[in-house]
Chain A
């Protein structure tokens, strides 16, 4: 951004030692989400360190890595829910604050108190709060829109249910409906499939695929390696630092996974993986 002149006359010998962790030199362009040099630390231990990441439009991206590798941290820091120690975030080439209206966020289901006294419809309407402001009236059209979003996740009949009475999968669908109501272009999901039933997982993935077809960008923290090939187009492998990023076909390889998980990737996982890829 500031200096393009400073690399003049300085030998590229070091480039020979560059491997996977090489940074893309150029600025993010108009990618839906890009972070540059992102470091977040809880106390004295960086949770993510000097990350560069670029997530493409009209595709579904997975953030993958072992537990404690900084997957959720990356997402939360990208959207400003937790403070960053250093680094920059660009959303459609704009700073985060200017682009908030274009982002929809689905937090981890367990991050809220489901005993809160409210109904399913109320939660979905929260996705419209940015649009209606503090005191604006929720018009009939907006209510219809909220109802439509519930319909899209298969929860139309639950609009007036108390949220404490929902199953885990239903809670996740309600959160997705709320994100849909935001009418965003970039969808960030934190572990959307954690602890949900198979039918819900199917329903969520169908909705996300429609979003992709509409040209929206979907970025999800994901930890089920066996479904990556089925669900996603793009992967970002992380273990505190970026290990690799790119299309699933070329980046989601055994070598890169080995590098991401180190010894932690048990042989069984690799087996599952080869079965999943062999099945196609």
Chain B
């Protein structure tokens, strides 16, 4: 746990934790609103977003790619809503139509453009490369106090930390509105709360979290982060405030354990190479959800005690 850890493992672990938390927070509400799969749709359209951003700007830079991904996510949400309303189609099918089409367009454009010489390829976008986000200049724990070393922290870390803070702040500020509009939309509207705009805002927030997380954990695995920690948390408690706490804890645990197992697990088993950390984080979150399904105190649909009915 010395210099090597700080240099190679600290930043990936932190990025993993921030990504997981940024996705889990809106995930709590998406699950309760039966919109869990909007995370699925958003994460698939990240790829066409970054491809188009690359086409337009011609450079592989973080900011335009993030903007492109965010734009694609918002476009997808609007298109899904349009298909749903205009065609009178159920939400799941509308999502399926929109995100697969956008994804296909993204892959096609990617194949048509010569991007082989730049570091932009499908697998990266799909799988992420958490392992490569190391802190080059770090020489040990003391580097945390060294401004020169701190300046060379990976951009991804700064970005996901800011997004995570933003998501947390927005969740806190709109807490009451989110809670009431999720529980009883009609009552929220009667109070004058813009419930529809709020629902859209929630999806946009999820999209921002997904986009910021994708270059660390990959766009598909983001889905697991949206759903698994909050779903497991739901089975642990019957109080929304506590559910949020559990989901953050599960997200953190998945990130840490996933990274450690991916990096050191194969070595323990006698293999040579590490495996995908992002994939392992998703797998660990799945194991946590599985355990919650089996042993969570509030796993059953009807409350344990239905006395005094």
Complex contact flag A–B (Cβ < 8 Å):
yes
Among A50-58, A111-119, A218-226, A266-274, the stretch that binds chain B is A111-119
B303 touches A162 (CB 8 A): yes
A112 touches B184 (CB 8 A): yes
Among B46-54, B78-86, B125-133, B236-244, the stretch that binds chain A is B236-244
Considering the complex, give the chain A residue whose CB is closest to the CB of B191. Answer: A130
B190 touches A167 (CB 8 A): no
Answer whether residue B119 sits at the interface, using C-beta atoms and an 8 A cutoff.
Answer: no
A76 touches B180 (CB 8 A): no
Measured CA separation A134–B198 after assembly (Å): 13
Measured CA separation A132–B176 after assembly (Å): 10
Answer whether residue B173 sits at the interface, using C-beta atoms and an 8 A cutoff.
Answer: yes
Report which of B177, B180, B190 forms a contact with A79, defined as CB distance below 8 A.
B190
Measured CA separation A119–B305 after assembly (Å): 14
Report which of B175, B190, B234 forms a contact with A103, defined as CB distance below 8 A.
B190
Answer whether residue A164 sits at the interface, using C-beta atoms and an 8 A cutoff.
Answer: yes
B306 touches A165 (CB 8 A): yes
Answer whether residue B200 sits at the interface, using C-beta atoms and an 8 A cutoff.
Answer: no
Those of B182-212 within 8 Å (CB) of chain A: 182-184, 186-187, 189-193
Interface string of A75-87 (1 = CB under 8 A from B): 0100111000000
Measured between beta carbons, the chain B residues less than 8 angstroms from A79 are: 189-190
Closest CB-CB distance, B82 to chain A, in whole Å? 17
Report which of A100, A117, A164, A188 forms a contact with B243, defined as CB distance below 8 A.
A117
Considering the complex, give the chain B residue whose CB is closest to the CB of A104. Answer: B190
Those of B293-309 within 8 Å (CB) of chain A: 301-303, 305-307, 309
Answer whether residue A107 sits at the interface, using C-beta atoms and an 8 A cutoff.
Answer: yes
Answer whether residue A206 sits at the interface, using C-beta atoms and an 8 A cutoff.
Answer: no
Measured between beta carbons, the chain A residues less than 8 angstroms from B183 are: 112-113, 116, 118, 123, 126
Answer whether residue B136 sits at the interface, using C-beta atoms and an 8 A cutoff.
Answer: no
Measured CA separation A132–B191 after assembly (Å): 12
Known: A81-B189, A130-B192, A164-B303. A135 touches B184 (CB 8 A): no
Answer whether residue B32 sits at the interface, using C-beta atoms and an 8 A cutoff.
Answer: yes
A100 touches B177 (CB 8 A): no
Closest CB-CB distance, A89 to chain B, in whole Å? 12
Closest CB-CB distance, A83 to chain B, in whole Å? 11
A100 touches B234 (CB 8 A): no
Task: State how many residues of chain A have any CB contact under 8 Å with chain B.
Answer: 33
A111 touches B302 (CB 8 A): no
Answer whether residue A30 sits at the interface, using C-beta atoms and an 8 A cutoff.
Answer: no
Closest CB-CB distance, B29 to chain A, in whole Å? 11
Which range holds the interface residue count of chain B? 20 to 34
Measured CA separation A156–B303 after assembly (Å): 20
Closest CB-CB distance, A230 to chain B, in whole Å? 26
Known: A116-B183, A129-B176. A105 touches B190 (CB 8 A): yes
Considering the complex, give the chain A residue whose CB is closest to the CB of B301. Answer: A115
A134 touches B177 (CB 8 A): yes
Measured between beta carbons, the chain B residues less than 8 angstroms from A119 are: 238-239
A100 touches B238 (CB 8 A): no
A76 touches B182 (CB 8 A): no
Measured between beta carbons, the chain B residues less than 8 angstroms from A123 are: 183
Measured between beta carbons, the chain A residues less than 8 angstroms from B190 are: 79-81, 100, 103, 105, 107, 188
Measured between beta carbons, the chain A residues less than 8 angstroms from B307 are: 165
Measured CA separation A188–B176 after assembly (Å): 23
Closest CB-CB distance, A31 to chain B, in whole Å? 19
A76 touches B186 (CB 8 A): yes
A134 touches B239 (CB 8 A): no
Considering the complex, give the chain A residue whose CB is closest to the CB of B184. Answer: A112
A164 touches B238 (CB 8 A): yes
Measured between beta carbons, the chain B residues less than 8 angstroms from A76 are: 186
Measured CA separation A145–B283 after assembly (Å): 47
Measured between beta carbons, the chain B residues less than 8 angstroms from A100 are: 190-192
Most chain B CB within a 10 A radius of its CB, from A103, A129, A135, A170: A129
Measured CA separation A182–B240 after assembly (Å): 22
A107 touches B176 (CB 8 A): no
Measured between beta carbons, the chain A residues less than 8 angstroms from B177 are: 129, 134
Report which of A105, A113, A115, A118 forms a contact with B186, defined as CB distance below 8 A.
A105
Considering the complex, give the chain B residue whose CB is closest to the CB of A115. Answer: B301
Answer whether residue A151 sits at the interface, using C-beta atoms and an 8 A cutoff.
Answer: no
Closest CB-CB distance, B303 to chain A, in whole Å? 4
Measured between beta carbons, the chain B residues less than 8 angstroms from A165 are: 303, 305-307
Measured CA separation A130–B176 after assembly (Å): 10
Instruction: List 18 additional A-B contacts (Cβ < 8 Å) besides A117-B32, A126-B183, A129-B180.
Output: A81-B186, A81-B189, A97-B192, A100-B192, A103-B190, A107-B190, A111-B186, A112-B183, A116-B32, A116-B182, A117-B239, A117-B242, A118-B183, A118-B240, A126-B180, A126-B184, A164-B302, A165-B306
Residues of B within 8 A of A (CB): 32, 173-177, 179-180, 182-184, 186-187, 189-193, 234, 237-240, 242-243, 301-303, 305-307, 309
- Subset of 24 A-B contacts with CB under 8 Å: A81-B189, A97-B192, A107-B184, A107-B186, A107-B187, A115-B301, A116-B183, A116-B240, A117-B32, A117-B242, A117-B243, A118-B179, A122-B240, A126-B179, A130-B191, A132-B176, A134-B174, A134-B176, A134-B177, A162-B303, A164-B238, A164-B303, A170-B309, A188-B190
